[in-house]
Chains A and B, each alone.
Chain A
Amino acid sequence: MGEKQEILQQLAQAVVEMDEEAAVTVAEQAFRVGIDPYEAITDGLTVGMGIVNEKFENEEYFVPEILLCADAMYAGLEVLRPHLKIEAASHHARVVIGVVEGDTHDIGKNLVKMMLETAALEVYDLGRNVPLHDFVDKALEIDAQMICLSTLMTTTMDGMKKVVDILEEKGVRDRFVVMVGGGPISQTFADSIGADGYAANAAAAVRKANELIENMVTA
């Protein structure tokens, strides 16, 4: 195996093994030996998160493991990002994400955000307990393709419908795909409020997001 392949593999491994320090060291090494930062991210760190994703779906990894893998990934990203050529990142789809008003449970949202970023989407995170209008305002402001809404509570899930309603009222519903998720959310609920997609977990969310955005582009 060439040096480059080995380094890329080590980057992936650092992510899978939740090793923040190794991610930084190997990322620095990648830059030193002249590996294109974009390649180090997509063929190294992202490959690692792909494996993490699989382990999550197989219930081999759970929330603590994913959070630590993400820390390792972000640590590596921080080293590589300043060296990225701008055009590499500019054509990605933009996503607005947040936990709807009245709810502060944000671990699920954070996992989805991270997975979307790993899949090279540009994610604008509005945080938790987000006023419903803010989702629409931000999506319009940055000309997003997608709005992701999360909640763990039954008292706040109807806020998701309000976001869809606001989009309708403003006559901009067609400009965005709306994806919903979280503990009490189901496909039935997503259909009932007129959302475009639902995902049961963070791994499924990435697949669904890509699928929805692709359909949107080709439609």
Chain B
Amino acid sequence: MTNTLSDQMTPKQRMACFLQGQEVDRPPCAPLILNHAARVSGVKISEYNQDGRTMGAAHVAAFKEYGHDFIFIFSTTSTLAEAMGTKLFFPDDDAPWVEEPVVRQPADLAKVRTVDPQRDGRLPVYLEATRLCCDRIGEDVFVGCVFSGPFTTAAALRGTENFVKETYKNPELVHKLLTLALDNALIFVDAILAAGGIPVLVEPVASGSLISPVMFKKFALPYLKPIVEKIQQANLPCILHICGKTTKVVELMADTGANALSLDVIDLAEAKEKVGDRVCLIGNVNPAKTMLKGGPRDVAREARACLARAGDNPAGFILSSGCEVPINTRPANIHAMIDAARSYRPQAGL
């Protein structure tokens, strides 16, 4: 790693000061490096996501390469549903997908497992990766472990199309699924905390690209609140990530009580105006167009634009990608984003 721009703090010091509202050397930068970590350590995605040591080692390698300000242990948004009984398919070198939801008909609700995080699905893989990162790099950086909110997990338990239709046709079943998903999320949160990780909440199926604010309020918000509270009871901040369009739900996202919102398709200046006094904002360099298909200059330009729009957000701003950094992103592009944070000078104007 060759840096002409030097940092004064470690990522952990920076993030700790930042979260307490103290002065930091430069804005934190936490691109959503998830499956891409496997590319850094040179393993296939199917190797990365089946073994905790391999997954953890990949994130250690990624941290050594990039020095980003937060680690996100992650494989797919269906991991909790998988541990509850949904079957996934694992391509050789790409992220897994849902092959067979566990609740194929309403009566299958009984088939849904209450998870044992030390045993079921790949929850143990996440936990081992979390512990390994805490051991190896935990002094220098906070280690987050990503899990899905109830709306996303319930959709993976039932199949997304059926599930969203049933918000109208069978709301009772929907609430039962959401309750199961919530109960299991809380169990996993405890396990993440015990492993030394910071639980990071993602709820992509409740994106404004898919559902209306009315539906968000009815089916997503009430089930997110208890999770946010639980994380905060551990004296930790809660990060809530939702990808896709979020302009119409950003206030409801803040209503969950989360400390920081990770946002994708939204004008950060508008987000700042709407909720910036309540929550820290995280975002939002375009993952496909810029991170994957652009070059380092494109990334730098867009990163500076993000900082210009939200760098002065009252409750703080963390530079990041709008959603997962695409698996095959060029390392130079990720370095370019972090360098943009390093060279940011708020007073100098942009």
Partner of B97, one of A18, A104, A154: A104
User: Once the chains bind, are A67 and B165 in contact (CB under 8 Å)?
Assistant: yes
User: Once the chains bind, are B160 and A154 in contact (CB under 8 Å)?
Assistant: no
Q: Is B41 engaged at the interface, CB distance under 8 Å to the other chain?
A: no
Q: Which residues of B contact A62 (CB under 8 A)?
A: 208, 210-212, 215
Q: Is A71 engaged at the interface, CB distance under 8 Å to the other chain?
A: yes
Shortest A217–chain B CB gap in Å is 32
Known: A63-B211, A64-B168. A186 touches B326 (CB 8 A): no
The dominant DSSP class at the B interface is mixed
Q: Is B273 engaged at the interface, CB distance under 8 Å to the other chain?
A: no
Q: Is B80 engaged at the interface, CB distance under 8 Å to the other chain?
A: no
Q: Which residues of A contact B98 (CB under 8 A)?
A: 104
User: Once the chains bind, are A154 and B287 in contact (CB under 8 Å)?
Assistant: yes
Q: Which residues of A contact B89 (CB under 8 A)?
A: 104
Q: Which residues of A contact B169 (CB under 8 A)?
A: 68
Q: Is A184 engaged at the interface, CB distance under 8 Å to the other chain?
A: yes
A interface footprint on B96-123 (CB within 8 Å = 1, 0 otherwise): 0110000000000000000000000000
Known: A188-B289, A189-B289. A154 touches B326 (CB 8 A): yes
Q: Which residues of B contact A185 (CB under 8 A)?
A: 288
Shortest B198–chain A CB gap in Å is 26
Q: Which residues of A contact B161 (CB under 8 A)?
A: 67, 107, 110
Q: Is B164 engaged at the interface, CB distance under 8 Å to the other chain?
A: yes
User: Once the chains bind, are A183 and B244 in contact (CB under 8 Å)?
Assistant: yes
* Alpha-carbon distance A69/B215, docked complex (angstroms): 17
Q: Is A131 engaged at the interface, CB distance under 8 Å to the other chain?
A: no
User: Once the chains bind, are B167 and A186 in contact (CB under 8 Å)?
Assistant: no
Q: Is A215 engaged at the interface, CB distance under 8 Å to the other chain?
A: no
Closest to B164 in A: A64
Partner of A68, one of B94, B165, B211: B165
The dominant DSSP class at the A interface is loop
Q: Is B309 engaged at the interface, CB distance under 8 Å to the other chain?
A: no
Q: Which residues of A contact B215 (CB under 8 A)?
A: 62, 64
* Alpha-carbon distance A210/B340, docked complex (angstroms): 43
Among B98, B165, B167, B211: residue with most chain A CB under 10 A: B165
A interface footprint on B241-254 (CB within 8 Å = 1, 0 otherwise): 00010001000000
* Alpha-carbon distance A107/B162, docked complex (angstroms): 11
User: Once the chains bind, are A154 and B327 in contact (CB under 8 Å)?
Assistant: yes
Partner of A155, one of B209, B293, B328: B328
Partner of A184, one of B94, B160, B209, B292: B292
* Alpha-carbon distance A102/B98, docked complex (angstroms): 12
* Alpha-carbon distance A71/B211, docked complex (angstroms): 17
In the A-B complex, list the 3 residue pairs whose CB atoms are closest, starting with the nearest: A184-B288, A154-B326, A64-B164
Cβ contacts A to B, 29 pairs, < 8 Å: A18-B168, A62-B212, A62-B215, A63-B164, A63-B209, A63-B210, A63-B211, A64-B165, A64-B168, A64-B215, A67-B164, A68-B165, A104-B89, A104-B97, A104-B98, A107-B161, A107-B210, A153-B94, A154-B288, A154-B327, A154-B328, A155-B94, A155-B327, A183-B209, A183-B288, A184-B287, A184-B326, A188-B293, A189-B288
Q: Which residues of B are interface residues toward A (Cβ below 8 A)? A: 89, 91, 94-95, 97-98, 160-161, 164-165, 167-169, 208-212, 215, 244, 248, 287-289, 292-293, 326-328
Q: Supply 19 further A-B pairs (C-beta < 8 A) apart from A154-B327, A155-B94, A184-B288.
A: A62-B208, A62-B215, A63-B164, A63-B210, A64-B164, A64-B168, A68-B168, A107-B160, A107-B161, A107-B210, A153-B94, A154-B292, A154-B328, A183-B244, A184-B287, A184-B289, A184-B292, A188-B289, A189-B293
